[in-house]
Amino acid sequence: MCINCTFISTPFLNPFHHTSLMDNNKIRKEDALYYHAKGRPGKIEVVPTKETENQRDLSLAYSPGVAEPCLAIAQNPEDVYKYTAKGNLVGVITNGTAVLGLGDIGPEASKPVMEGKGVLFKIYADIDVFDIEINTKDVDLFVQTVKMLEPTFGAINLEDIKAPECFEIERRLRAEMNIPVMHDDQHGTAIISSAALLNALEIVGKKPEEIRLVVSGAGAAAISCVRLYVQLGVQRKNVTMFDLNGLLHPNRAEMTDILQEFASDAFPMDAKLEDAMKGADVFLGLSVGNLVKPDMVRSMADNPIVFAMANPIPEIGYDEAMAVRDDLIMATGRTDYPNQVNNVLGFPYIFRGALDVRATEITDNMKLAAAKALADLAKKPVPDLVNMAYNENNIVFGRYYIIPKPMDPRLLSTVAPAVAKAAIADGVAKKKIDDWDDYSQALETRLGLNNQIERIIIGKARRDPKRVVFADAENLTVLKAIQQVRDDKICFPILLGDIQAIEKIIEENQLDLKDVTIIDTRNPQDPEQLERYAELFFEKRKRKGIVRTDALKMIKKRNYFGAMMVDTGDADALISGLTRSYPDTIRPGLEIIGQQDGNHRVAGMYILQTKKGPLFFADTTVNVNPTVDELVEITELTAKAVEQFNIKPRIALATYSSFGSAKGEDALKMRAVTQILQQKYPDWIVEGEMQAHLAFNMDLVAQNYPFSKLSGEPANTLIFPNLSASNIAYNLMKETGDIDYIGPILLGIRKPVHVLQLGSTVREIVNMVAFAVVEAQRI
């Protein structure tokens, strides 16, 4: 996926480009190809936004109904924004001449990257994208082609076009088109690093106009960075730039006009990078890895700032640089170190703000507004959701946090309004925004959390991987998931099963799992471990009908062996096998590990990731027909689990009756549960009994049940009267609604034990493993 930017400069081939949020993972070729080929090929599709269920709908969507908006637009061309998708549609356009670190691979080969960029626009800013790959290297023809597409798009994102042509293409299109045009490869890094520079300078007590800046790299990114830094106050005379051929000096031969713009005679023409870095305040690297040596950082001024943004290997390693200066502020393009300069902090929100006011261009002031908004956001208290995602207790503004994290949900409602306001101030906005508070609120609710919960869980798991036992390792799907969680550094897997059978599957499918621990519980490599586990199990169950011979026999079963590993601390979590019988499979965990202190039972929960945010369903797997008291405890367990995501539970007790409209057994039961919970937890948002649609239809609730605690905002947690109702509900939603889910999550057990449902996919297993790791981190 295209997030961070790399530029083929004149003359550098810069590997700093398109760093994904998972850029440090070991991605296997087979996995990448399978991901793009599975199901519907590619990563994007067109989905209707209006009803298309019957002939009347189709007659409105097309002929004859479509004639009316056509005539309206013909009479008033601005109505194209009222009747079509143009106002939310960005063209991601390339000719494939500077793709990733791959170089000139052509338009067809660049298409997966352009689709990936479209994915990021959608998940971060709810912007729709058509990717356009143009088969020409001719600047005039490229410009002419893009210009002819202006009626289609609300804005143009130029991507992966090599320098110096990219400068001319963007300049001409900006001048000749009446919609925003931005080459993210040039400006994305400039905007994000400008925010980082502002905050770094504030921390060290220096002003932009006072610093001396040394730049390694003279490609599109570096040029744009310096141009924006100059607008922040950096003096051009204090900037020294180097490319592959050395210092940009006025007397150097064969330099383009763009390079001449940044030529400096502050040093002799034969000066080296190490010469310029002596006494420098800031180093900006957009070149190649391992170019800067520790002594060069040591020679810089007090409180130096180093932005080493070549990727995947920066100009100097983070640990290497920090080891020589304890007063250093450093940023890179990598996810595994503080202060990641990541273009995904910018382009989705810049285009969102520009589209929402129908800007005719993206001005320098709009870029500066984005940079300053990012800088200001980093100084504000960080939400618990972000701390959780990055496995931190309290991220605070300072040397190790100078720019926001990519998963900060406030980015959309912070950067987009700043950009929109700048567009209005510059006079390039065709649409005004009357109420900025309403606009920010609309942005906050636009995406929901459906694209965040999964990433938060996986991101948190990767920060502190745990040992996870897999009880059904003789299954190919499970082994593929194990491959992924190990490569993604989510956990340290331990496999249970027949060693020869597992190794055969690994070899036949060319999986890279040769160094993973495999234990055959029937004949373990460590017989003493088996005997010790059997004795421990006997002690736990000796007054419940188990004798020593039974204990030894049962502990050889994988679920019992795995549960004992977790109970004794030899592992941190258990993922049990694909099964048809959930209650039977969780029994070993309950008999060995037991319930949490104070709990009388366990329950199952599913997380359904909908476009309007996550929904939490319980009990979906364990209790067949719970009593009132049991439902109260199930609700308490579920609410506690929801709160672990830093989400306030809004609980609906669902049944076929609404607030006393029926008197059947389930209705009376759920009514009693509601009364108990409301008395026990007066601050909770819990309501019932109610039909399921009332948990979401707030207009209907306001009209008929104004006393409801759920008024104004829909429920996110649904508790069902019995296993039949909950099982039917979540299966219908996940099968018919194209909804991702995480589960079943076993609540109330002392240590993480989870059972994979029959038919679980690799992705579903990975999500379950990540959740188990996060649970284990809390113990």
Q: Which residues are catalytic?
A: 62, 117
Q: Are 758 and 741 in contact (CB under 8 A)?
A: no
CA distance 260 to 184: 23
Closest CA to 719 of 607, 658, 634: 634
Bridge partners of 183, per DSSP, are: 158
Tokens 């922040």 -> residue: 232
Tell me the DSSP string of 393-431: S---SBTTBSS--TT-TTHHHHHHHHHHHHHHHHT-BSS
Closest CA to 307 of 216, 230, 246: 216
Query: Strand locations in 423-542, DSSP E?
Result: 466-470, 491-496, 517-519
Instruction: Note the Cα 351 to chain centre separation in Å.
Output: 19
End-to-end CA distance of the chain: 35
Helix (H) or strand (E) holding 129, with range, is strand 128-133
CA distance 24 to 51: 43
Q: Are 363 and 388 in contact (CB under 8 A)?
A: no
Query: Strand locations in 446-503, DSSP E?
Result: 466-470, 491-496
Closest CA to 455 of 21, 3, 18: 21
Q: Are 596 and 698 in contact (CB under 8 A)?
A: no
Query: Residue 619, preceding bond cis, omega within 30 degrees?
Result: yes
Q: Are 338 and 314 in contact (CB under 8 A)?
A: no
CA distance 721 to 725: 7
Task: Print burial letters for 159-198: b (CB count within 10 Å at least 16), e (below 16).
Answer: bbbbbbbbbbbbebbbeebebbbbbbbbbbbbbbbbbbbb
- Cβ neighbours for 516, distance < 8 A, ≥ 6 positions apart: 482, 486, 493, 494, 495
Tell me the DSSP string of 451-462: TTHHHHHHHHHH
Q: What is the DSSP letter of 447?
A: S
Q: Are 594 and 746 in contact (CB under 8 A)?
A: no
Q: What is the DSSP letter of 731?
A: H
Closest CA to 322 of 337, 341, 333: 337
Kindly tell me the burial class for residue 706, based on how many C-beta atoms sit within 10 Å of its own C-beta (0-12, 13-18, 19 or more): exposed
CA distance 573 to 579: 18
| Ramachandran sector of residue 271 (left: φ over 0; alpha: ψ -120 to 50; beta: rest) | beta
